[in-house]
Amino acid sequence: MRIEAIIQPSRFESVKEALHQIGVEGMTVSEVRGHGRQKGHTETYRGREYEVDLLPKIKIEMVLPYNLVDGAVQTILKTARTGKIGDGKIFLSKVDEAIRIRDEERGEGAL
Amino acid sequence: MGIPSTPFTVLRDFYAEEFARIEREFRASSNGRVATQGRAALLDRVILDLSREFLAPELNDLRKLCLVALGGYGRRELFPHSDVDLMFLWEDASIESRYREGTQAICRALWDLRLRVSPTHRFLSECEKFQPDNPEFNISVLDSRYLEGDRGLFERLRNRALPHMIAGGWSDLLRDLAELTEQRHRKEGDTIFHLEPNLKNSPGGLRDYHVAWWVGLISKMEKAGMWATPEDIWPAKALQDMDKAFEFLAAARCFLHYRQGRHDNALSYELQAAAAARGIGVENGRAIDPAEWMRIYFRHARAVYALCTQLLDETLPAPAKLRGFLGWKSSLLDSGFYVAGTRLSLLEPSGVHEPQRLLDVFRYVAKHGARLSREAEDQIHEALPSIFDSGAALPSLWSNLREILLAPHAAEALRAMHSSGLLVRLFPEFAVIDSLVVRDYYHHYTVDAHSFMAIENIHRLREAEKNWERPFANLFSELEEPELLFLSLLFHDVGKGMPCGDHVAGSLDAIENVFARLDLKPEQADTVRFLIRDHLAMSANLLRRDIFDLETIRVFAEEVGTPERLKLLCLFTYADIRAVNPEALTPWKAQSLWQLYVLTANYLSRSLDEERFHAESGDLQFVDRIFPLVSSTASREELASFLEGLPRRYLFAHSAEEIASHFPMARKLKENNVQLRIDHRRQIYALTLLATDRPFLFAGVSGTLASWGMDIWKAEAFANAAGVVVDTFHFTDPHKTLELNPSELLRLQKSIEDVLTGAISRETLLRGRAGAQSKPQPKVSVPTQIRFDDSSSPHSTLMEIVTQDRPGLLFHLSSTLANFGCNIEVALIDTEGQRALDTFYLTFGGAKLRPDAQEQLRVRLLAEG
């Protein structure tokens, strides 16, 4: 399964650490911007309007064997939650195949 | 070793066995030069065999065709997995068609041996001409070496065609070489001090070694019409250094190729450790610590980089910025040095034995970007013991260092000071981070190089091109004392070289020793301490806190204290992250940093009403800090009473010494209800006013200053709970009235007192002003924006106004506010170029302004424009 989580930057270190603790070793991390219901706002600084409409977020992507998925999702939910609007989203999707480039191993062994 | 014959499998086995033999011999000797020569010789034999098979059994019979080794193969420096550059040189087209199939068969056989062969086919006539669209070929053909075939044809290539090509295109060749080198250096961060360098392409690597060779080769051919040897073109000392550097780099690169089994020149941490354990390039091949091994690498890379860049600089015309200084020659000569091309040389080496003259050299480098010639660097290095060991008095270190730090090429000057040994002589604290490798996944550069690069990152903001860089560039232009930022950046990481667990604590210890040699004011030293102590605070907030949470911002703003410190810290963070590696400061991070800055800056200017000193709320630490500095007989309670109700910003914006000097002024208000003082620091005058609050107070001062032609660029107005106003105005004297007539300062002071006490009416002031001021034409049009905010303060309405700065603006604004019936509780006045940026905390009848009053005030301010 592929897990894509969009979380608050401030929660990233904790989420990463918690995922490592439950055995999730690999992940891809991107710096992204966006908004959901938590719309941005406009700041003024020294007379200049400054759009803060796209807020900074961290996107974590992982492809995990089924037995780790629930644990990973629960870990992200628990660790990334602050209770405020803007905590992010988790998306799950199925992956047809995984291939390790180095030795061309396929399936779960490649994860 | 006999010459093998086909079939191909025999040739393949022969190549594999010989390759393995050379590798075994390298493992035993670690001699990279021998290994690369051995592989070149092996290739020579293979190509000889293939040529006999596919071109002619007796190669002496070959006419009008010869095989030529190019590039590294031509130099007999063929690394284990490097490309093989091979040229088939034809006399004319007739011969090409005859042998074309045979040359293709040779290439196929070489590829089948899994060799990375890059074949080139050229007519002799093509080699006579400089090829503007193929700089790599123009350069690789300089290292051409005869392999097989028509020797006469090769002689014509070496003795006629290539000299002809160089004679016609030497300046283009050098320009291409310089551009390719500059691009490569820029890609590698323009520093030799990479933690995981590329042995070939990093500055100071083997490519630079060859650039130094090619520059000499081209110059010698252009001037003397003959091919050169290294002895002909490199100075004796440089030749020795370059030879040693090549031995080391060649050994290390062979080690990498053999170990990785491929053409990989990246010297990773793991490979550094392995090379150090094997003693690669080390005398007697003894195992040493990886950090020590890397210091040897940096020493060699420094020698290669210095000669390569100097030779390039000497052969190219000086950039326009330095050419302009040729007319300046006499004053340069007076200083004991001159600039040729972009390199600075000493006229009389003994001149730099005089400390101020020595520092003048680096002040010049910092200002104009010239680089020291290798000879000058050596001469300075040799002069240092006589200066520092003799106990001779040094000139004012801070004024010299300050000038260097503020100049646009400060980083270049600091690097030159470090290379020559001067920086460590002046600041021994810096020695612990000389070429220091601190291994982590993020840092690309040694600690000293990182510090110089951070300083460079700030200076480069002067030419900010990207949108996300511009806000930081504006911030840099607003700094009051940028030298403190640079000083902090220079020493912020010296703790990394100290035997303590916390590098920040180490750096703070070290900076105290540095302060002992610099005559900084106490508040300046405090700012530097703050920047070093909290230099990771903004990064930590970005990574670990929700920066859109007001509480995060409140706590951070409290730590920072003042807008000026916030600006310094923001720029420090920008420069520090950007100096970690070329990709470390992504636009995402830069924008997030800017958002944190804006949110905190706005908090600082919009929270003044709430964030006030209250003795009962445990704010007595301020009293503890200030009271020992109070020289009167006052009690702690009296001091606390003076501070009661003042915005905390006042306590952060002023040093303890300054507040301690305000307090006696407040006590004297019983005798005279206007207390005034004007201080002068460089071009700026600072007026401090303490008075009991009254209408038109702020307008009176700003109006008087305007009527005297003074330009107010910053002001703050605060009041304590007892209604004592503490106002500060920073102004310049554009007409030099006070500078040319020092006695006028007293008259100005008297004039302000007269206005505030009513001895001169405001109308008189206005009449004087009307005659005195003429409106200068604005360079940039700034439309007026007025914004009211009722939410930031529980007691006041904030009015933020941005408008065109002009003489008397503050008087006009504050008079309008006073006439409207508003009381200015707090004022923060600032300017940015021709934009005035003013924030007033206003009350009307002791309460916030109602919406209709806000609208009326807006209309009146705009009408009175």
Query: Are B200 and B143 found together in one domain?
Result: no
Rounded distance between C-alpha atoms, residue B810 and residue B322, angstroms: 43
Best CA proximity match to B4, nearest among B50, B73, B66, B57: B50
Best CA proximity match to B369, nearest among B304, B320, B306, B307: B320
What is the reported pLDDT for B834? 80
State which of B108, B132, B167 marks the end of a domain: B167
Rounded distance between C-alpha atoms, residue B533 and residue B525, angstroms: 12
What is the reported pLDDT for B394? 79
Regions of chain B with pLDDT less than 70: 1-6, 316-334, 441, 609, 762-763, 765-780, 865
What is the reported pLDDT for B332? 56
Query: Are B432 and B554 found together in one domain?
Result: yes
Rounded distance between C-alpha atoms, residue A94 and residue B626, angstroms: 66
Query: Are B158 and B29 found together in one domain?
Result: yes
What is the reported pLDDT for B619? 73
Instruction: Examine residue B809 and state whether it is found in any structural domain, yes or no.
Output: yes
Residue in B545, B787, B837 closest to A10 by CB: B545
CB atoms within 10 A of CB B108: 13
Give the rounded distance of the alpha carbon of B791 from its chain centre. 41
Query: Are B792 and B830 found together in one domain?
Result: yes
| Residues forming a β-bridge with B692 | B724
Residue A86 near chain B (CB below 8 Å):
yes
CB-based contacts of B824, cutoff 8 Å, min separation 6? B698, B717, B814, B817, B818, B840, B841, B842
Residue A83 near chain B (CB below 8 Å):
no
Instruction: Examine residue B220 and state whether it is found in any structural domain, yes or no.
Output: yes
Query: Are B272 and B386 found together in one domain?
Result: no
CB-based contacts of B776, cutoff 8 Å, min separation 6? B806, B807
CB-based contacts of B283, cutoff 8 Å, min separation 6? none
**Inter-chain CB proximity A33 and B542 less than 8 Å:** no
Best CA proximity match to B686, nearest among B695, B677, B694: B677
Residue A12 near chain B (CB below 8 Å):
yes
pTM greater than the 0.80 cutoff:
no
First vs last C-alpha separation in chain B:
96
Instruction: Examine residue B643 and state whether it is found in any structural domain, yes or no.
Output: no
Instruction: Examine residue B176 and state whether it is found in any structural domain, yes or no.
Output: no
Rounded distance between C-alpha atoms, residue B443 and residue B579, angstroms: 8
Query: Are B599 and B479 found together in one domain?
Result: yes
Give the rounded distance of the alpha carbon of B735 from its chain centre. 36
Kindly give the interhelix angle for B236-260 and B32-54, rounded to the nearest 10 degrees.
Answer: 70
Residue A43 near chain B (CB below 8 Å):
yes
Query: Are B532 and B677 found together in one domain?
Result: no
State which of B136, B167, B198 marks the end of a domain: B167
Q: Which residue is closest to A47 within chain B, CA to CA?
A: B802
Q: Are residues B386 and B350 in contact, defined by beta-carbon separation less than 8 angstroms?
A: no
Q: Are residues B66 and B149 in contact, defined by beta-carbon separation less than 8 angstroms?
A: yes
Q: Are residues B362 and B416 in contact, defined by beta-carbon separation less than 8 angstroms?
A: yes
Residue A56 near chain B (CB below 8 Å):
yes
Query: Are B408 and B438 found together in one domain?
Result: no
| Residues forming a β-bridge with B800 | B787, B839
CB-based contacts of B833, cutoff 8 Å, min separation 6? B780, B805
Best CA proximity match to B280, nearest among B29, B23, B24: B29
Domain span at B391: 318-396+404-426
Domains of chain B: total: 5
What is the reported pLDDT for A6? 95
Instruction: Examine residue B831 and state whether it is found in any structural domain, yes or no.
Output: yes
Among all chains, which residue has been given the structure tokens 């037995």?
A: A67
User: To the nearest whole number, what is the mean pLDDT of chain A?
Assistant: 87
Query: Are B242 and B355 found together in one domain?
Result: no
Q: Kindly report the CA angle at B193 between B188 and B198, in degrees rounded to 5?
A: 50
pLDDT for B319-359, tens place per residue?
Answer: 544 444 444 444 455 578 888 777 888 888 888 888 888 99
Query: Are B444 and B580 found together in one domain?
Result: yes
Instruction: Examine residue B649 and state whether it is found in any structural domain, yes or no.
Output: no
Instruction: Examine residue B303 and state whether it is found in any structural domain, yes or no.
Output: yes
Q: ipTM for the complex?
A: 0.77
What is the reported pLDDT for B4? 47
Q: Give just the sign of the alpha carbon dihedral B655, B657, B659, B665.
A: negative
The class that CATH gives domain A2-110 is: alpha beta
**Inter-chain CB proximity A32 and B588 less than 8 Å:** yes
What is the reported pLDDT for B330? 40
Query: What residue spans of B31-161 are helical by DSSP H?
Result: 32-54, 71-74, 93-112, 124-127, 135-140, 151-156
What is the domain partition of chain A in residue ranges? 2-110
Instruction: Examine residue B652 and state whether it is found in any structural domain, yes or no.
Output: no
Q: Give just the sign of the alpha carbon dihedral B701, B704, B708, B710.
A: positive
Hey, which residues 532-551 in chain B have their CB within 8 Å of chain A?
542-549
Query: Are B328 and B281 found together in one domain?
Result: no
**Inter-chain CB proximity B586 and A50 less than 8 Å:** no
Query: Are B193 and B269 found together in one domain?
Result: yes
Q: How many A×B Cβ pairs under 8 Å?
A: 49
> Which H/E stretch holds residue B246?
helix B236-260
